[in-house]
């Protein structure tokens, strides 16, 4: 049902975490994956895993906040059926703790980076007569999360851009949806805890798991499965929506 054979997918941020899981799953389902990522070593490792499993793909060193880099790489790819905007950075802090430089850095990657990929990616989908776009948002873009001012700003912008693109390109057969995860257990989470809570890693992981009503963090594979569904022909009637994948975080009692 969710085959992507003969599809070409561009997946940013595939060097680790959610982007890596999406790249692995899409390749497993038959897509040829193109993987722009700022960390070339990490994305080459993702590509190696894809190829060792019999999949097809190409990795690129790319900073999505640099428009010329995105333009040149997307031009080299030529055409695509699927675009997944997953590249992003995090930031911790309230508005008064967020410097102008902090704010600009988050904006440049999380908002301007997605703009670049949409701006140069949509023409590649139009060459195929349409296609599908997924952006990775966050529950932080929907509800207030403590100490995430700049990050929440950027993810709220992603949800708004998703709906705008869906509306503008519906008649040109491009679907666009966003996925908004709550806490997902990624290498970033492990690194953040190790840096800020040395020696308390297990306690902090348990605390983060308990903050989700379902009692655990989500997995990157679970997010990838939702992305696969939304990218497949099974979701042909779906566009302009945001899909929280949150273990009940938004709507169930904490």
Structure confidence at residue 254 (pLDDT): 54
Report pTM. 0.95
Annotation marks residue 243 as catalytic? no
Give the three-state DSSP class for 9. strand
192-196 contacts, C-beta under 8 A, 24 or more apart: 192/90
Rounded Cα distance between 250 and 27, Å, is 31
Output the pLDDT for position 188: 80
- Identify the architecture of domain 8-185+219-238 in CATH: 3-Layer(aba) Sandwich (3.40)
pLDDT in tens, 122-164: 999 999 999 999 999 999 999 988 999 999 999 999 999 999 9
Reading the block at residue 13, the tokens are 């941020």
Cα(134)–Cα(239) distance, rounded to whole angstroms? 10
pLDDT of residue 148: 94
**Can you list the residues of the chain whose pLDDT is less than 50?**
none
Q: Which of 60, 107, 151, 243 is catalytic?
A: 151
Indicate the SS3 state at residue 207.
Answer: helix
**Residue 122 pLDDT:** 98
């Amino acid at each position: 049902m969710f085959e992507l054979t003969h599809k070409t997918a561009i997946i940013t941020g595939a060097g680790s975490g959610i982007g890596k899981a999406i790249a692995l799953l899409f390749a497993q389902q038959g897509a040829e994956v193109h993987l722009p990522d700022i960390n070339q070593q990490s994305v080459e490792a993702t590509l190696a895993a894809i190829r060792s499993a019999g999949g097809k793909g190409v990795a690129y060193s790319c900073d999505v906040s640099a428009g010329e880099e995105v333009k040149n790489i997307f031009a080299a790819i030529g055409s695509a059926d699927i675009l997944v905007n997953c590249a992003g950075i995090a930031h911790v802090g309230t508005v008064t703790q967020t410097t102008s430089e902090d704010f600009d850095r988050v904006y440049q990657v999380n908002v301007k980076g997605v703009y670049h990929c949409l701006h140069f990616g949509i023409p590649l989908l139009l060459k195929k007569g349409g296609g599908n776009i997924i952006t990775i948002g966050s529950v932080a873009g929907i509800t207030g999360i403590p100490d995430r001012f700049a990050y929440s700003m950027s993810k709220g912008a992603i949800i708004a851009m998703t709906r705008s693109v869906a509306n503008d390109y519906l008649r040109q057969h491009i679907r666009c949806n966003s996925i908004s995860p709550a806490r997902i257990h990624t290498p970033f989470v492990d690194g953040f805890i190790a840096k800020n809570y040395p020696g308390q890693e297990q306690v902090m992981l348990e605390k983060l798991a308990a903050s989700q009503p379902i009692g655990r963090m989500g997995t990157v594979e679970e997010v990838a499965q939702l992305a696969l569904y939304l990218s497949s022909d099974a979701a042909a009637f779906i566009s302009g929506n945001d899909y929280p994948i949150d273990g009940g975080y938004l709507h169930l009692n904490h």
